Amino acid sequence: MDEPTNPKPKSNFIRDIVDEHLRTGRFSRVHTRFPPEPNGYLHIGHAKSICLNFGLARDYNGLCNLRMDDTNPETEDIEYVNSIKEDVRWLGFDWEDREYYASDYYEKLYEFAVQLIKQGDAYVCDLSVDQVREYRGTVTTPGKDSPFRNRSVTENLDLFSRMRAGEFPDGAKTLRAKIDMASPNMLLRDPLMYRIRREHHYRRGDAWCLYPTYDWAHGQSDSIEGVTHSICTLEFEVHRPLYDWFLDRLGVHHPQQIEFARLNLSHTVLSKRRLLELVEGGFVSGWDDPRMPTMTGFRRRGYTPESIRSFADIIGIARDNSIVDAALLEMCVREHLNRMAPRVMAVLRPLKVVITNFPEGRVEEFEAVNNPEDASAGTRKVPFSRELWIEREDFMEDPPKKFFRLSPGREVRLRYAYFIKCEEVVKDPKTGEVTELRCTYDPATRGGDSPPDGRKVKATLHWVSASHAIEAEVRLYETLFTVRDPMDVPEGTDWKSLLNPKSLEVVRGAKLEPGLADARPESRWQFERMGYYCVDRRDSKPGALVFNRTVTLRDEWAKLVSSGRENK
Ligand code: ATP
Ligand code: MG
């Protein structure tokens, strides 16, 4: 795979901050991390964060760690860890030997907690979850001190070690930071640091019955790793004072947290919880369903890592939340596939054409260009014979004015081959359905050139020789949701009711040119006039090929831009 390069990094406010830090000596190096929680597969929003974090490390000759923020035993799984690693690698980034786990820091975090207790900065609290909520107050009213807030250091140390030893039932006690129950920032009202939960952890097994909260683990994990810039999404801005408080009290290495806007993509949802709901509810075939906005879904669909990286580059980094139109991502995909995907001819919904004046048994071969965008892609031979398949939609018995393709008496060009003229339409006597077209070809148009008389045609069709064609299943996709923002639903409406019932259409019996017989899983092709397609990496087998439509050829993004709707 190509090393992701970025010759001229676009400046953004995060780079400005980093530059300033390097100038003032706040930091002399750049060390970032990508910290997913292994409770689901990565989605395109994570891709933005990966490109940002690994991109900064690359451009500043720094380092970027991969860290699993695995503090919640209930939802985490090794399956997710493995998928995360595979996806980051697929996207083209390398964490080298810096694969870290917050769950490896449990001991260190425990020591930190003991330090805070000793300093009088944390205490063991016996209030129940509900009571804690009640004591916390509201945004407009201050909270109340817990009756356990003034326990002595000795008592706290004793209770805390017994919490770890498993002496108390789940939920009986918590460890809380002693900050300020009247703080206008609710997160500073003595936040929880530890809960007792007898849950099996996918990595630590049953070694712990005491689990750190995300808020307690996250900042310290960054500190332990020597991270300089803890980049996270905007919703963590209000957590920053808390993270700063922990680090200051501990007196340890203090990374700078910087927040940026989450990516939202139109016509889909980007939340692992919701994506999991789609998987578990059977609304999609799995995390790698090609309609999913997950990296593994996009990969299966045929998106390239290069196109996802260039999308991340184009959308840039900002501090205001917005929805990016999926058409922009598709444009990036199309733009890359246009350069790299070989062209082939494939007929999705075949209609038989018999060339009545072409001898039976004769086969001619025509030279076809593999990629007009890339001369080095060369040419290939495609066979032509008396019976062919054309696209059913390329014929109309009774065409409206603007339809220039095949119709009775009309002449068109078959790409690379000949002009043909439709002489007769054969129908099923029972249903009236057109079953075959009987056409003649003009030998003077060999290679698809205009004949000496200068006659012109208004349409060029793709085709496949019937006796040479191979069959495939082709899966056509539309957006997963019918609306731009599935989260913007009226009260009481289930967002899943907005799923697009037409998001998947399976077409069986598509006819492909014979060269595609050995198409490898994940190879990407342009089916001329029909779009970009990718061999399904999961379901396709030699002899039973399955293709996914990656994107159509229509540039919806250009339309949105010209209509001024892209920012809506
Ligand atoms: P989700 O809501 O999808 O579960 P999350 O933020 O809980 O997302 P994490 O596994 O905690 O998921 O995220 C890992 C990293 O990816 C974090 O640094 C987070 O800020 C970033 N990230 C997650 N979602 C997005 C997004 N939509 N856009 C940009 N960055 C994101
Ligand atoms: Mg999270």
Ligand 1, residue 50: give the atom nearest the CA: 16
The vertex-8 CA angle with 554 and 14, nearest 5°, equals: 95
**What confidence score (pLDDT) does residue 1 get?**
44
pLDDT of 383 above 80: yes
Which of 411, 429, 461 delimits the end of a domain? 461
**What confidence score (pLDDT) does residue 554 get?**
87
**Which of 233, 264, 268, 278, when mutated, tests ligand 1's pocket best, judged by the most ligand atoms within 8 Å of its CB?**
233
**What confidence score (pLDDT) does residue 322 get?**
87
How far does the centroid of ligand 1 lie from the alpha carbon of residue 46, in Å?
A: 5
Which of 442, 461, 480 delimits the end of a domain? 461
Torsion of CA 240, 246, 248, 250, to 10 degrees: -160
pLDDT of 475 above 90: yes
The DSSP element (H or E) to which 210 belongs, if any, is strand 210-212
Nearest residue (by CA) to ligand 1, atom 8, is 271
Classify residue 318: in a domain, yes or no: no
Tell me the pLDDT band of 96, cut-offs 50, 70 and 90.
very high
How far does the centroid of ligand 1 lie from the alpha carbon of residue 36, in Å?
A: 7
Same domain, 291 and 238: no
Q: Which amino acid is at 334?
A: R
What's the DSSP call for residue 499? B
**Residue with tokens 């349409």, as numbered in its chain:** 459
CB–CB of 21/220 below 8 Å? no
How far does the centroid of ligand 1 lie from the alpha carbon of residue 166, in Å?
A: 33
Classify residue 546: in a domain, yes or no: yes
pLDDT of 6 above 60: no
Same domain, 41 and 166: yes
Residue 543: which domain range? 272-301+325-342+472-563
Classify residue 1: in a domain, yes or no: no
Q: How far is the C-alpha of 275 from the C-alpha of 295, rounded, in Å?
A: 12
Q: How far is the C-alpha of 202 from the C-alpha of 82, rounded, in Å?
A: 12
Closest CA to 353 of 403, 382, 381, 391: 391
Question: pLDDT digits over 7-39, tens only?
Answer: 567 789 999 999 999 999 999 999 999 999 999
Question: pLDDT digits over 44-80, tens only?
Answer: 999 999 999 999 999 999 999 999 999 999 999 999 9
Same domain, 393 and 439: yes
**Which of 12, 46, 84, 231, when mutated, tests ligand 1's pocket best, judged by the most ligand atoms within 8 Å of its CB?**
46
pLDDT of 89 above 50: yes
Ligand 1, residue 275: give the atom nearest the CA: 3
Classify residue 314: in a domain, yes or no: no
**What confidence score (pLDDT) does residue 568 get?**
44
pLDDT of 40 above 90: yes
For the chain, count helices (H), then strands (E): 13, 27
pLDDT of 106 above 70: yes
Question: What are the tokens at 231?
Answer: 């980049």
Using CB distances shorter than 6 Å, the residues near ligand 1 are 35-37, 45-46, 48-49, 232-233, 262-263, 270-272
Domain CATH number, residue 231: 3.40.50.620
Q: How far is the C-alpha of 473 from the C-alpha of 507, rounded, in Å?
A: 6
List the beta bridge partners of residue 505. 476
Same domain, 512 and 529: yes
**What confidence score (pLDDT) does residue 147 get?**
98
Classify residue 313: in a domain, yes or no: no
Note if 262 is an active site residue: yes
The DSSP element (H or E) to which 384 belongs, if any, is strand 379-384
**What confidence score (pLDDT) does residue 558 get?**
81
Same domain, 388 and 517: no
Same domain, 59 and 152: yes
Closest ligand to Cα 295: 1
**What confidence score (pLDDT) does residue 2 get?**
47
Classify residue 307: in a domain, yes or no: no
Burial class (CB in 10 A: 0-12, 13-18, 19+), 341: buried
Question: pLDDT digits over 412-464, tens only?
Answer: 999 999 999 999 999 999 999 999 999 999 999 999 999 999 999 999 999 99
Residue 175: CB atoms within 10 A of its CB come to 27
Q: Is the Cα dihedral 355, 360, 366, 370 positive or negative?
A: positive
pLDDT of 143 above 50: yes
3-class DSSP assignment, residue 328: helix
pLDDT of 248 above 80: yes
Note if 272 is an active site residue: yes
Residue 457 phi/psi, 5° resolution?
-125, 160
User: Which of 176, 272, 301, 537 is the catalytic position?
Assistant: 272
Could you tell me what percent of the chain has a pLDDT over 70?
98
Q: How much is the mean pLDDT over the chain?
A: 96
What is the rounded average pLDDT of the residues 123-127?
98
Closest CA to 63 of 73, 50, 53: 53
Closest CA to 116 of 193, 183, 41: 193
Same domain, 207 and 160: yes
**What confidence score (pLDDT) does residue 7 get?**
54
How far does the centroid of ligand 2 lie from the alpha carbon of residue 240, in Å?
A: 15
Closest ligand to Cα 40: 1
Ligand 1, residue 48: give the atom nearest the CA: 29
**Residue with tokens 């795979």, as numbered in its chain:** 1
Which of 233, 262, 291 delimits the end of a domain? 262
**Residue with tokens 């996270």, as numbered in its chain:** 232
Nearest residue (by CA) to ligand 1, atom 10, is 36
Could you tell me what percent of the chain has a pLDDT over 90?
93
Question: pLDDT digits over 213-227, tens only?
Answer: 999 999 999 999 999
Torsion of CA 448, 449, 452, 458, to 10 degrees: 80
Ligand 1, residue 49: give the atom nearest the CA: 30
Same domain, 403 and 354: yes
Closest ligand to Cα 235: 1
Classify residue 196: in a domain, yes or no: yes
Classify residue 267: in a domain, yes or no: no
Closest ligand to Cα 68: 1
CB–CB of 445/418 below 8 Å? yes
User: Which of 144, 204, 262, 438 is the catalytic position?
Assistant: 262
Torsion of CA 319, 322, 323, 329, to 10 degrees: -30
Residue 560 phi/psi, 5° resolution?
-65, -40
**What confidence score (pLDDT) does residue 321 get?**
87
pLDDT of 251 above 90: yes
**What confidence score (pLDDT) does residue 69 get?**
97
406: left (phi over 0), alpha (psi -120 to 50) or beta: beta
Domain count within the chain = 3
3-class DSSP assignment, residue 7: coil
What's the DSSP call for residue 183? -
How far does the centroid of ligand 2 lie from the alpha carbon of residue 395, in Å?
A: 53
Question: What are the tokens at 277?
Answer: 């709901």
Same domain, 182 and 116: yes
CB–CB of 351/390 below 8 Å? yes
**What confidence score (pLDDT) does residue 252 get?**
98
Question: pLDDT digits over 476-508, tens only?
Answer: 999 999 999 999 988 889 999 999 999 999 999
Same domain, 420 and 549: no
Nearest residue (by CA) to ligand 1, atom 14, is 36
**Which of 41, 49, 231, 321, when mutated, tests ligand 1's pocket best, judged by the most ligand atoms within 8 Å of its CB?**
49
Question: What are the tokens at 327?
Answer: 């058409």
**What confidence score (pLDDT) does residue 563 get?**
78
Same domain, 173 and 285: no
**Residue with tokens 């803890």, as numbered in its chain:** 230
Nearest residue (by CA) to ligand 1, atom 23, is 46
3-class DSSP assignment, residue 525: strand
Same domain, 403 and 484: no
Domain CATH number, residue 330: 2.40.240.10
